[in-house]
Amino acid sequence: MIKDKRKGEKPIPNDIHNYLNEAQDAVLNKIQEFGWSLQFIRRPLFQEPIVIAANAKGDAFGVLEVDGHFNTEPDILLRE
């Protein structure tokens, strides 16, 4: 059994703008025009949040980097 690490937190917090900087917010708005959507925000302790988006089919993922770059080949491990 895989234990959920969120401990009651939602995958997408209600206050997403507290987790996104201006560059990330602008990129999110742009990629949504192409069918991408915010999937979740990882919130590791003492580290920058990691913003994950997925394409419409859900078979491709990307990270909205702090500098506003949309990285479609991130070096992260995602759970099923």
Residue 10 confidence (pLDDT): 87
Name 76's Cβ contacts closer than 8 Å, sequence gap at least 6. Answer: 50, 52, 63
- Answer whether residue 58 is part of any domain: yes
- 75 or 54: which carries more pLDDT confidence? 54
- Answer whether residue 56 is part of any domain: yes
Please tell me whether residue 32 adopts helix, strand or coil conformation: helix
Whole-number Å distance between alpha carbons of 22 and 1 = 38
Containing domain of residue 51, as a range? 16-71
Residue 75 confidence (pLDDT): 83
Domain count, the chain: 1
Residue 2 confidence (pLDDT): 47
- Answer whether residue 51 is part of any domain: yes
- Answer whether residue 31 is part of any domain: yes
- Answer whether residue 24 is part of any domain: yes
- Answer whether residue 78 is part of any domain: no
- Answer whether residue 20 is part of any domain: yes
Residue 41 confidence (pLDDT): 94
Whole-number Å distance between alpha carbons of 11 and 21 = 18
- Answer whether residue 52 is part of any domain: yes
